[in-house]
Structure 1
Amino acid sequence: MSTPPGTHHTHPDPRHLIAVVVLVPLLAALALWAFAWPAARTAPRDLPLGVAGPAAATAQVEQRLARQQGAFEIHRYADEAAARQAIEDRTVYGAVVVTDQGPALLTASAASPTVAQLLQQALAAEGAQPRTVDVVAAPENDPRGAALTASVLPLALAGIAAGAAVSLFGLRGVRAVTALVGASALVGVTAAAIAHSWLEVLTGDWWAEAATLGLSTLAVSSAVAGLAALMGRAGLGLGAGVLMLLGNPFSGAGSAPQMLPEPAGALGQWLPPGAGTTLLRSVSYFDGAAALGPAMTLTWWVVVGLGAVLLGGALKSRTATSGESAADRRPALAG
């Protein structure tokens, strides 16, 4: 059967086949490394822990803790009241208090149920059986922190979706910024309504929690939209990939940043999911203690991301204007 004139057969580019065969396993390996490596290497690394009481009495406790080399960063306090205050200020995750009635372990399951359990096991392994006091307890409806941990991925996905939508719909400049801010604000209000009002797993100030959830979403969406505005689809993929493959597993939401292998723990706190989780714990369970650092991190992402959105929109507008001017000049030159 003859081929009609003007008909062209298109053959698949073999490079596309090679790209699929090679890139998919690489992405799978990267995702497995990012999620499985921190989980498999979870252990305390310079975890802030307080020791309170007379120096002579606490010396033996410090020696026992020092046997676990590099596990704890010891902070010394004069008495139980000072140790409690340090826990409430989020300076330490817990404290061992030496009293006349025997040792006591102060924990804060609201900061990390995993760390609170680990401290009990660490002292039990050393032969100590102290009475345990949960200074800042996790909410009754989320004693293991599972709901808070589960919120990291949906917020990241919402931010990525908002940034991608702004890019794919062709929104630029002020319109893009307005869309990102509006969508993030609605996400924050909706998430607070679900987590605080319905599930009751957040127990702090409602509006502070909504603002934190919205700011976390805006940090992600502005980063994705900003990269897309400057780099196109490549920037969109880069932003989504980094925030999903690194931001989520490196956030330390399920344990604590000091429980992750380095540099995952430190890097995660510089990314929006990790900073957002830390800020949410502070405003929900600790009356805003130690909230300044993660709040500034999220604000930095928002400012840089929205700045990139405005810059990318201005550059595209200038390019379009230059193209129209050149098209207008061509007939005159031809004449």
Structure 2
Amino acid sequence: MTSSDTTAEPGETPTATRFREGPHLPALVVTLIVTVIAGLFAGTYAWAMGDPQPHDVPIGLVSTTHSPGELATELEARTGTTFVVRPYATETDAEAAIREQVVYGALVEQLNGSVRLYVSSASGASVARLLEGDAPRLEQSIGQPVTVVDAHPLAEKDPNGLVLFYVALAAVVIGFVGAIQTRVNAARLTLAGELFWDVVRSVLGGFAISFTVGPLLGVLPIPFFAVWGVLALTMLIAGATYSFWRVLIGGRWAMLPTWIVFVLISNPSSGGAVAPELLPPFYQFMGRWLPTGATVRAVRDLTYFPDDLHLEPYIVLAVWLVASVGLFVAVRLFRYGPGAPGDILHTWRSIARRRGRATDEVAAEAPAG
């Protein structure tokens, strides 16, 4: 572009004009956005998982000598951690509550006077370590030796319980990165073609993740086909979410809201790296309703609690699937039609203009007061 091609604003120097209309302005904008996102990325994960603070940790109690309120008060005074203590009539009832993930552990007084502290590393390794660390204080509170029993230990090759988080993270990130690369390198796909390759990519990606952590490396004792289905669903949701933003606001900025939803909010709030009761309240709430958290819970149930599956994570994933794919298809049809993307059929400005003209016509046809 030559200086004769540029249009200067009033009072603007030629240098400023060249900067505004040249490639340096968008480069500056991207640099500033990346700078902010880098700080948010580091801050989000540091805030959510850097120093987890337990609060309202649910545990069970089977005792004839201590009430739930008394034990909760004593534990909070000795540990600084708040517990929600739920009474159970028998040891079997408490074990069932742990298996159903209603509580993270249970303090059980045996008939012979001994005391067991049941924990469940598979439900949340961070909470299990917390309860084990509090065992000496529990002994002081109840005046009896405490034997710690891990009712649901983690897989041998996953002692810290992080593989569930990595599996869900891989499905989410590869889901929207795959959608980006497909749209960039196969830009002339029709709507049917886009949906077809989104499904194929998700199915194959879910297979690759499940096969790698399951049969290939034996890291997790997963039920292969069920976990494959969950991860394929997660990948499809992440890809469809990006695709929706791409047709709504354009490919230049579509990555930004996708990154915010999944990487800055959904992933750290998932409960995969740190149990929800150790997260800040915002993340504890959000993790329950976002795709990564639902994926972590679904895969955890399938792997460690196959006889006590919860419906909620599947409902969350189903709602996200219908919403993300439905919105993508609706906006894609509205703007481009079912064929390959070409000239935009409709824009939001054209709708506003049509509404404005319609309003003017109605006003013009209205009889004078």
TM-score, normalised relative to structure 2: 0.78
Q: Distance in 1 between matches of 2:150 and 2:286?
A: 29
- Alignment match, 1:231: 249
CA RMSD after TM alignment: 2.8
SS in 2 for 1:151: helix
Aligned equivalent of 2:326: 307
Gaps of 5+ in 1: 324-335
In the alignment, the residues of structure 1 paired with residue 334 and residue 146 of structure 2 have an alpha-carbon distance, to the nearest angstrom, of 64
Q: Of residues 17, 22, 40 in structure 2, which corresponds to 1:30?
A: 40
What does 1:1-335 correspond to in 2, within 5 Å?
11-13=18-20, 15-16=25-26, 19=29, 22-54=32-64, 56=66, 60-67=70-77, 71-99=82-110, 100-128=112-140, 129-168=145-184, 169-170=186-187, 171-233=189-251, 234-287=253-306, 289-318=308-337, 320=343
Distance 1:17 1:222 in 2: 27
Q: Look up the equivalent residue of 1:103 and give its one-letter code.
A: V
Taking only the aligned residue pairs, the percentage that are identical comes to: 25
Partners of 1:257 and 1:156 lie apart in 2 by 19
Distance 1:59 1:73, change over 3 A: closer
Could you tell me which residue of structure 1 aligns to residue 354 of structure 2? none
Query: Is the Cα contact below 8 Å between 2:125 and 2:275 reproduced in 1?
Result: no
Asked if the contact 1:272–1:301 (Cα under 8 Å) also holds between the matched residues in 2, the reply is yes
- Comparing 121-130 with 45-54, greater Cα deviation is found at 121-130
Corresponding residue SS for 1:180: helix
Alpha carbons 2:302, 2:309 under 8 Å: kept: no
Contact 1:247 1:272 in 2 (8 A): yes
1:249 counterpart letter in structure 2:
P
Aligned residues: 320
Q: In 2 relative to 1, CA 96–156 (structure 1 residues): closer, same or farther, beyond 3 Å? A: same
**Local SS of the residue matching 2:19:** coil
Distance 1:249 1:102, change over 3 A: same
Residues 151, 54 of structure 1: CA spacing in aligned structure 2 closer, same or farther, 3 A cutoff? same
Given that 2:48 and 2:283 are in contact with CA atoms closer than 8 Å, whether structure 1 keeps it comes out as: yes
Could you tell me how far 1:253 is from its partner in structure 2?
Answer: 0.9
After TM superposition, give the deviation of residue 257 of structure 1 in Å.
1.2
Structure with greater contact order relative to length (CA < 8 Å, sep ≥ 6) = 1
